[in-house]
């Protein structure tokens, strides 16, 4: 049967009271047992020492008596003449090995903490990037709304085509910058993917997908803005924005203000011979309106049937001289734009269409102001 080890106190009593007897077997049973018990106590104390290495300095001071007791046990073990355990390994060697193991565990814990801190720092950086992209998306949205508002105003009051083109170019540049930012963020997310937690990565992925959707939205809106800008280019606010074929005609017509009816009629006749241009359609509008009437839609669309490719249809808007000058200027430009848009919707790619305004006038009738609320469509033949 295996030996049953007595408690340390009973082992001490047995060592002093039990006499040696040759008939009862060898003496190591009573001599080794205290040593082994003491060795176990030493190992337990070493484990305690390993644990207290992670404690605070105050706790180390509290455990100082335990260290003293461990040293006493080690001295007693040496005094008994049995410095080794059953495996033949020195107690000091065990202590040193366990100490090294504890240090190794501490280093591993420190390394893990370092990796965790790095992952958290990388996650914080990515979060900052996502927030910056969100701000950038909002900025693009504000820019788009501003450009859209300016475009609507331009369509009603003779817009600056160059300013609109600049706005679209700016929007394109910002969109391309956002594409680059998204690509960079995607690479950074892939780099930090092995260190960050799944929940953090899922959060970043959701924000990344939202940014992609925002990018697609702005790309779509930029195309729509370009289409609207194409319509805005129909309108020329001054001679500098006119196509070359229309410059001379516009300058000639602008000089007819305050001229006599006979002079105006004579100039119109000369325009046909000198500039190869003629009025092919005159459209009247109600007071204060710039909407093309249903009865005029079809006649306007048919005008392109008789215009060769390369020729220009120049639409000139007018308003009566009653009311506010600026309001009449806006009204005349809106009338010309409405007719030009109708022509553009049906013209062939080789045909040219442009709109311009001359504002309020009384050249068509000084006695009946409503007769000046009109649009002229001129056909200018290519030279």
| 140 shares its domain with 194 | yes
233, 263, 294: which is the final residue of a domain?
A: 233
> In 3D, which of 336, 372, 292 has the Cα closest to residue 158?
336
How buried is 219 (Cβ within 10 angstroms: 0-12 exposed, 13-18 middle, 19+ buried)?
A: middle
Do 308 and 358 meet the contact criterion of CB atoms below 8 Å apart?
Answer: no
Q: Percentage of residues in the chain with pLDDT exceeding 70?
A: 62
φ/ψ of residue 378, rounded to 5:
-100, 140
φ/ψ of residue 251, rounded to 5:
-65, -35
> In 3D, which of 335, 322, 337, 339 has the Cα closest to residue 290?
335
| 226 shares its domain with 254 | no
For the entire predicted model, the pTM comes to 0.45
Calculate the average pLDDT of the chain.
75
DSSP letter for 378, please.
E
Q: What is the pLDDT of residues 286-305, one digit of tens each?
A: 999 999 988 999 999 999 99
Total number of domains in the chain: 3
> In 3D, which of 207, 176, 177, 215 has the Cα closest to residue 189?
207
What's the domain range around 13? 8-18+25-89
pLDDT at residue number 106:
78
CATH number of the domain residue 162 falls in: 1.20.58
| 359 shares its domain with 248 | yes
| 271 shares its domain with 369 | yes
Structure tokens at 230: 């194409």
pLDDT at residue number 7:
45
Domain assignment present for residue 255? The answer is: yes
Q: What is the pLDDT of residues 306-316, one digit of tens each?
A: 999 999 999 99
CA distances from 338 to 244, 356, 361 (A): 22, 11, 19
| 275 shares its domain with 370 | yes
**Sign of the alpha-carbon dihedral angle for 187, 190, 193, 195:** negative
Domain assignment present for residue 110? The answer is: no
Which are the contacts of 156, defined by CB distance < 8 A and separation ≥ 6?
A: 330, 333, 334
Confidence band for 374, pLDDT divided at 50, 70 and 90:
very high
DSSP letter for 255, please.
T
């Amino acid at each position: 049967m295996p030996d049953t080890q007595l408690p340390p106190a009973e082992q001490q009593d047995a060592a002093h009271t039990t006499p040696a007897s040759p008939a009862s077997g060898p003496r190591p049973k009573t001599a080794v047992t205290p040593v082994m018990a003491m060795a176990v106590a030493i190992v337990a104390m070493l484990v305690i020492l390993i644990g207290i290495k992670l404690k605070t300095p105050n706790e180390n001071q509290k455990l100082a008596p335990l260290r003293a007791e461990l040293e006493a046990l080690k001295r007693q073990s040496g005094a008994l003449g049995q410095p080794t355990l059953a495996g033949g390994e020195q107690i000091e060697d065990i202590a040193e090995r366990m100490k090294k193991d504890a240090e190794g565990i501490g280093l591993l814990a420190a390394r893990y903490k370092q990796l965790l801190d790095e992952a958290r720092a990388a996650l914080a950086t990515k979060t900052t990037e996502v927030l910056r992209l969100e701000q950038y998306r909002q900025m693009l949205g504000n820019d788009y709304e501003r450009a859209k508002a300016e475009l609507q105003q331009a369509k009603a009051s003779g817009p600056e085509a160059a300013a609109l083109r600049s706005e679209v170019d700016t929007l394109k540049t910002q969109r391309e910058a956002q594409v680059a930012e998204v690509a960079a963020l995607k690479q950074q997310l892939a780099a930090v993917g092995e260190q960050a937690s799944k929940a953090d990565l899922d959060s970043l992925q959701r924000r990344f997908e939202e940014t992609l959707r925002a990018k697609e939205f702005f790309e779509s809106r930029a195309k729509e803005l370009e289409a609207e800008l194409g319509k805005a280019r129909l309108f020329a606010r001054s001679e500098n924005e006119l196509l070359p074929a229309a410059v001379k005609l516009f300058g000639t017509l602008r000089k007819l203000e305050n001229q006599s009816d006979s002079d105006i009629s004579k100039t119109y006749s000369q325009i046909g011979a000198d500039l190869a241009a003629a009025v092919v359609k005159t459209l009247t509008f109600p007071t204060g309106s710039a909407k093309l009437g249903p009865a005029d839609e079809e006649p306007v669309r048919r005008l392109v049937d008789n215009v060769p490719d390369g020729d220009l249809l120049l639409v000139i808007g007018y308003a009566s001289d009653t009311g506010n000058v600026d309001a009449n200027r806006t009204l005349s430009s809106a009338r010309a734009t409405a007719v030009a848009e109708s022509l553009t919707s049906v013209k062939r790619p080789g045909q040219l269409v442009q709109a311009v305004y001359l504002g309020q006038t009384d050249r068509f009738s000084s006695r009946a102001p409503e007769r000046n609320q009109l649009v002229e469509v001129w056909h200018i033949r290519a030279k």
